[in-house]
Amino acid sequence: MKRWLVPLVIVGIAGCGWFPAPTTPAPTDPPPLDLDFPVGQFSLIERSGKTITEKDLLGKVWIASFIFTRCNGPCPAVTNTMARLQRELHNELASGQLKLVTFTVDPQRDDLTALNIYARNRQADPNYWLFLTGDEQTIHQLIREQFKQTVIVETGPDVKEGFEYDHSTRLSLVDKNGIIRATYEGLPNENRPDGHERFEKGLQHLQARVRELLK
């Protein structure tokens, strides 16, 4: 399959508003062509306290999401989408060849205790679903430079609690070699009349693509 180079930054729904997502296919569009972005090196701490690096995920297909536990914006909906994938891709996860990986964009507050409470409240199986934290600058650089996604720190007296970060809510699909192959909407775009249809079609394609990459 031919690979397609897209603009450097791929953005979706941010913490306090909608960012354009020009690479998202409309319901009648053909499936998106593969991306070709290596995730590269990282070393972060999982909610279990274990250090996780990119090497721990080599040989597995994985789906990445970006949230923060205190978020009063779209993060809960993105996590619900990941929880849905945990249910609908149960057999693939149980095979050990697929992982769900959530990165916090607010690691200063999202310590291991906060991540464990958040994960347990959402029935996130620790065998299948990783929650990663670490140094904020390191994580934000990883999201911007390696995942090609948006994360912005909001500052000032007018910033409301739970809206301290604007960040992409797209899901990234990574293959067994650590290459980002596609991104998908993490929740429906309520500002579009076809938002739910696009979202459902994207999730169907995501699951089909996961199964292809696992072969």
Work out the percent of the chain whose per-residue pLDDT is above 90. Answer: 71
Q: Is residue 206 part of a domain?
A: yes
Q: Where are the alpha helices (DSSP H) in the chain?
A: 75-88, 90-94, 112-121, 136-141, 195-214
3-state helix, strand, coil in the chain (%, to 5): 30, 25, 45
pLDDT tens sequence across 26-40: 444 545 557 888 999
Residue type present at position 196 = H
| Pairing verdict, β 17-18 and 13-14 | antiparallel
CATH number of the domain that 148 lies in? 3.40.30.10
pTM above 0.75, yes or no: yes
The length of the chain is 215
Q: Is residue 52 part of a domain?
A: yes
Under DSSP, the state recorded for 193 is: T
pLDDT tens sequence across 111-133: 999 999 999 999 999 999 999 99
Q: Is residue 139 part of a domain?
A: yes
Q: Is residue 177 part of a domain?
A: yes
Q: Is residue 17 part of a domain?
A: no
Q: Is residue 96 part of a domain?
A: yes
Q: Is residue 126 part of a domain?
A: yes
29: closest CA among 157, 213, 146, 201?
201
How many domains, in total, are found in the chain?
Answer: 1
Q: What count of other Cβ atoms lies within 10 Å of the Cβ of residue 151?
A: 24
Among 12-21, 92-101, 163-172, the least confident range: 12-21
- Give the distance from CA 144 to its chain's centroid: 13
Name residue 82's beta-bridge partners.
none
Residue carrying the six token digits 């897209």: 6
pLDDT tens sequence across 129-187: 999 999 999 999 999 999 999 998 888 888 888 888 888 999 999 999 999 999 999 99
CA distance 68 to 4: 31
Q: Is residue 26 part of a domain?
A: no
Per-residue pLDDT for 10 more than 60? no
Residue 94 domain boundaries: 32-214
Per-residue pLDDT for 23 more than 80? no
